[in-house]
Amino acid sequence: MSEEKKPVQNSSCLSGTGVTKIFGMGKEKTVAVDHVDFQFREGEIVSIVGESGSGKTTLSKMLLGLISVTEGEICFQGKPRDIKGYRKKKEYWKGIQAIFQDPFSSFNVFYKIDQVLLDCIKMRGGARLPYEKKVEMMTEACRFVNLKFEELTNKYPFELSGGQMQRLMIARIFLLKPAILLADEPTSMIDACSRATILDMLLKLRDETNMTIIFITHDIGLAFYISDSIYIMEHGKFVESGTAEAVILNPKAAYTKRLINDVPKIHEEWDLSTV
C-alpha cells in the first residue's frame, strides 16, 4: 500500500500551535493535551497513535469544536478558526465530521436509524428530495459499508451490534462526504476481515473526494499500513511526528520504539514485508 502513496504537497487544511486542554482546576487538574503543534494537509491520511489515556480523543474533540481549547490556536484552511455561534459551527461541521470511539454511546437510542441517515442528507441540502431518492441514497451508503438498509430501516440503534453501529457511522460519512474526517478508532469492533474492506472503502472515499482523514488508533501497525504521516502521542504531547516511513522505520523517541516492539510478531513480519 505504502508504495502507492502520493507525495504530499497539498495545502494545509487544519493546523495548530500550542494546543492545550486542561480539565478541572487546582489539585484535580488534568492536562489531557499539552501544547501540541501539528499540520494536516488536504487529502492526507494522518494517524495519531498513542496508548490509552494519552489524550487522542480530547484532541479530536477540540479539532471538531465540540470542547473548548484551553490554550493555543487552531487554523482551519489557513485562517484562524472562528466557530463562535451556532451558524458558524454548523457551517464548520459541513466540512469536518467524525466517527466516535464508542459506537454504543454515539446514537440517540430513542430515534430510529433512518433518522441518523436522513439528517445527513438534509445537511447536504437534500431535505426536499423525494423520499424514494432518499431511500436510494441511504441504501447506497449502507451498501458501501456492507450493510443492508432493508434490514436496518425502522430499527433502533440498540438493536444493532457494535460493529454494525460503527459501519453505520461510516455510512454517515459516505453521505456527508466532508473535507476532513476524524475517525476515532473507527474499526475497533469490526472483525479483521471486514476491517480491511472497510479501511479500503475509506481510502477509496479519500481518493474520490480528496478527503483528509485523521485516524486515531492504538495500533501502530494499522497506522503504518494506511497513513501518510504519523503523530505519536504520549501523555498529551506529540513525542514524534513525520511521514509514516520515517516514524516507523526510523523511530527516535523511546516511546515510539516501545510501541513498535509491542506489535505482535506476525504483525511485525507483515509490516516489514510491505516495505
Ligand X SMILES: Nc1ncnc2c1ncn2[C@@H]1O[C@H](COP(=O)(O)OP(=O)(O)OP(=O)(O)O)[C@@H](O)[C@H]1O
Measured CA to CA, the distance from residue 263 to residue 270 in angstroms comes to 11
Query: Residue 241 in contact with residue 247, Cβ under 8 Å?
Result: yes
Identify which of residues 20 and 60 has a Cβ nearer to Mg ion in the complex: 60
What is the per-residue binding string for other proteins in 84-123, x denoting contact by CB under 8 A? --x--xx--xx--xx-xxx--xxxxxxx----x--xx-xx
What is the per-residue binding string for other proteins in 55-74, x denoting contact by CB under 8 A? ------x--x-xx-------
Contact footprint for ligand X (CB under 6 A): 23-24, 30, 32, 50, 52-58, 101
Identify which of residues 104 and 270 has a Cβ nearer to other proteins in the complex: 104
- Is residue 57 near Mg ion by the rule CB under 5 A? yes
Least distance CB 200 / ligand X (angstroms):
24
Instruction: Give the closest residue to 23 by CA, choosing from 33, 35, 13, 14.
Output: 33
Least distance CB 84 / Mg ion (angstroms):
26
Identify which of residues 12 and 101 has a Cβ nearer to ligand X in the complex: 101
- Is residue 20 near other proteins by the rule CB under 8 A? no
Q: How many residues bind other proteins (CB under 8 A)?
A: 26
SS3 of 192, please?
Answer: helix
Least distance CB 122 / other proteins (angstroms):
8
Burial class (CB in 10 A: 0-12, 13-18, 19+), 216: buried
Q: Which does 52 bind (CB under 5 to 8 A by kind): Mg ion, ligand X, other proteins, none?
A: ligand X
Q: State the DSSP string of 127-179.
A: TTS-HHHHHHHHHHHHHHTT--HHHHTT--GGGS-HHHHHHHHHHHHHHH--S
For the stretch 54-58, contacts whose Cβ atoms lie closer than 8 Å and that sit 24 or more positions apart, written own/partner, are: 54/233, 54/234, 54/235, 54/236, 55/21, 55/233, 55/235, 55/236, 56/184, 56/216, 56/233, 57/101, 57/184, 57/216, 58/21, 58/32, 58/33, 58/236
Identify which of residues 58 and 97 has a Cβ nearer to ligand X in the complex: 58
Residues 123-162 that bind other proteins (CB under 8 A): 123
Q: Which does 30 bind (CB under 5 to 8 A by kind): Mg ion, other proteins, ligand X, none?
A: ligand X
Interface with Mg ion by CB under 5 A: which residues?
Answer: 57, 101
